[in-house]
Amino acid sequence: MWRPYWAVSVLAVVTVVATADLSGTWDVDVSFDDPAVEGGDIDCVIKQDGEQLKGTCSGGTAALAGEVTGQTVRWRIGGNTFDGTLDDAGTRIKGRFTAAGKGGSFTAVKSK
């Protein structure tokens, strides 16, 4: 008899995660796997429409496009791809990226 309760709990968690709104300003800290390549910080302003993400980074000089499905987030800035996982609060994304053939990790924190 525990099965229906378990299914309802899982459905409730999925519903909460699916409604997270990523619209806002995000501070993105990037770190390359190769220690010879310097990482840094990127500021991005994102607008979410359903599962689609659009925005700009680096003071509006770089376009961002992507999508969010549940807790999985993927966006592209130029030829660079960022794949990450959104936390339960909807305010932090951690993941991996590729830029100019090099890989690394990133953390994005929603600041506004």
- pLDDT above 70: percentage of residues in the chain: 83
Which residues form the domain of 80? 3-110
Between 102 and 14, the higher pLDDT residue: 102
**What is the pLDDT confidence band of residue 100, given thresholds at 50, 70 and 90?**
confident
Write the CATH number for 87: 2.40.128.120
pTM recorded for the entire structure: 0.80
Buried b (16+ CB within 10 A) or exposed e, 72-103: ebebebeebbbebebeeebeebebebebeeee
Tokens of residue 50, six digits: 């359903």
**Distance (Å, rounded) from C-alpha 52 to C-alpha 105?**
22
Tokens of residue 55, six digits: 């925005």
Backbone phi, psi, residue 62, to 5°: -130, 130
Q: What is the mean pLDDT of the chain?
A: 86
Q: What is the DSSP string of 16-49?
A: HHHT----EEEEEEEEESSTTS--EEEEEEEEEE
Quote the number of domains for the chain: 1
